[in-house]
């Protein structure tokens, strides 16, 4: 038969010595998750804060950590001061990714 999985959906067919076949579908994912959109929005609540929303190219395996709300591909967190952050995350297949961003100063528009 053919050998070699490709990115995306694949089907593995295994035969025993009697010729019985077992079919095993699987997905090969080697793509690193990335941020495709990052927005920062001023909010007047609690004396002023910045809401950062990140959208990823594929669903993540877990939350981004404390304070991040969302699931799948979109997460939001509120920040009260300017600072550079480095996020580490992984997709559902375990491929790791990182993203660095700097929160804007909290200044009313």
The whole-number average pLDDT for the span 57-63 is: 89
CB atoms inside a 10 Å sphere around CB 6: 7
Distance, in Å, from the CA atom of 89 to the CA atom of 32, rounded to the nearest integer, reads 10
Question: Is residue 84 predicted with pLDDT exceeding 80?
Answer: yes
Q: How would residue 83 be classed by pLDDT, with cut points 50, 70 and 90?
A: very high
Predicted pLDDT at 38: 97
What's the predicted TM-score (pTM) here? Answer: 0.77
CB atoms inside a 10 Å sphere around CB 57: 14
């Amino acid at each position: 038969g053919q050998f070699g999985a490709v990115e995306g959906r694949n089907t593995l067919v295994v035969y025993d010595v009697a010729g019985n076949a077992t079919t095993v579908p699987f997905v090969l994912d080697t793509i690193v998750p990335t941020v495709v959109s990052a927005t920062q929005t001023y909010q007047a609540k609690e004396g002023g804060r910045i809401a950062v929303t990140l959208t990823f190219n594929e669903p993540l395996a877990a939350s981004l950590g404390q304070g991040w709300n969302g699931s799948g591909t979109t997460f939001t967190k509120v920040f009260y001061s300017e600072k550079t952050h480095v996020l580490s995350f992984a997709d559902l297949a375990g491929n790791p990714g990182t993203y660095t961003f700097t929160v804007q100063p909290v200044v009313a528009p």
